[in-house]
Chain A
Amino acid sequence: EAGVAQSPRYKIIEKRQSVAFWCNPISGHATLYWYQQILGQGPKLLIQFQNNGVVDDSQLPKDRFSAERLKGVDSTLKIQPAKLEDSAVYLCASSLGTSGRVGETQYFGPGTRLLVL
């Protein structure tokens, strides 16, 4: 079974530029998550999708971050404009998302390491 795929693996940009990350979840997984992992910290949830609808985006800095999940499969996360403090690893995860079943295992991708100069 193929795992969660993410690209690119690494990205270096200058502040005020824009950047986009892509995620392809495990086939059949309805729920998709984007996490931000700053160096020395645990991952922090940015946004959660159930199919193509947003379940939780309470910690997404909406003035500069946006995310979409068209057709309930792939997802993109965009930052525009980037700030120095956005330097982090951006992790995508997915889970089955079966109705009524919570606490499901989340499967993580390898992450995209972003450096903002």
Chain B
Amino acid sequence: AQTVTQSQPEMSVQEAETVTLSCTYDTSESNYYLFWYKQPPSRQMILVIRQEAYKQQNATENRFSVNFQKAAKSFSLKISDSQLGDTAMYFCAFMKLNTDKLIFGTGTRLQVFP
């Protein structure tokens, strides 16, 4: 069975600084998808970024980028130029190929302060 581990329950960062959230996962699959979802205090979860395991290039979406280390089964999220609106819970999630089932980690609460 696949598992997703987020070892940082809480993180904080000053506005305009850079922060990295960690995620590791365990799977015997060779192809899969990885996601970072953001859940602001209003609780509507939105997709931040996704990565296909068969792609070597790290995904990037504006200020958000990932460091995907397939051999180490690591998938960290880097937020550059942090903004107050980035304050939220961040969930790392795994999806096996040919399924739509997301397996989430326990989340990291990020606080961005002025």
Other-chain residue from A55, A93, A105, A111 in contact with B43 (beta carbon distance below 8 A): A111
Other-chain residue from A44, A93, A102, A104 in contact with B97 (beta carbon distance below 8 A): A102
Contact B42 A110 (CB under 8 A): yes
Known A-B contacts A42-B104, A42-B107; the reply to A102 vs B99 at CB < 8 A is: yes
- CB-defined contacts of A93 to chain B, threshold 8 Å: 45
Contact A48 B101 (CB under 8 A): yes
Query: Top 10 nearest A-B pairs by Cβ distance?
Result: A42-B104, A108-B45, A103-B33, A110-B44, A111-B43, A105-B47, A43-B104, A42-B91, A42-B106, A42-B105
The B-contacting residues of A in range 8-58, CB under 8 angstroms, are 31, 33, 40-45, 48, 55-56
Interface residues on B, range: 20 to 34
A69 to B106, CA, bound (A): 29
The number of chain A residues with a CB under 8 A from chain B is 26
- CB-defined contacts of B4 to chain A, threshold 8 Å: 42
- CB-defined contacts of B50 to chain A, threshold 8 Å: 103, 105
Per-position binary interface string of chain A over residues 63-107, scored 1 when its CB falls under 8 Å from any chain B CB and 0 otherwise: 000000000000000000000000001010101010000111110
Contact A89 B102 (CB under 8 A): no
- CB-defined contacts of B47 to chain A, threshold 8 Å: 105-106
Contact B105 A89 (CB under 8 A): no
Contact B44 A103 (CB under 8 A): no
- CB-defined contacts of B33 to chain A, threshold 8 Å: 103
